[in-house]
Amino acid sequence: MNSLLLAASVAAAVLGIAHSIIGDLLIFKPLRQKQAENDDALRILSRRRWAAIWSTWHLLTIFGFGIAGVLFVLALNPAATYPDLKLPLVAAFAIGGVFWVYGTAGKHPAWIILLGIAALLWQA
Count Cβ atoms within 10 A of the Cβ of residue 110 and give its class: 0-12 exposed, 13-18 middle, 19 or more buried.
Answer: middle
CA angle at 120 for the pair 116 and 123, rounded to the nearest 5°: 140
CB 41 within 8 A of CB 86: no
pLDDT digits (tens, 9 = 90+) for 38-56: 666 566 777 788 888 899 9
The pLDDT, as a whole number, for residue 35 is 63
pTM: 0.85
pLDDT digits (tens, 9 = 90+) for 2-32: 999 999 999 999 999 999 999 999 888 877 7
Count Cβ atoms within 10 A of the Cβ of residue 108 and give its class: 0-12 exposed, 13-18 middle, 19 or more buried.
Answer: middle
- The predicted model gives 71-87 an average pLDDT of 94
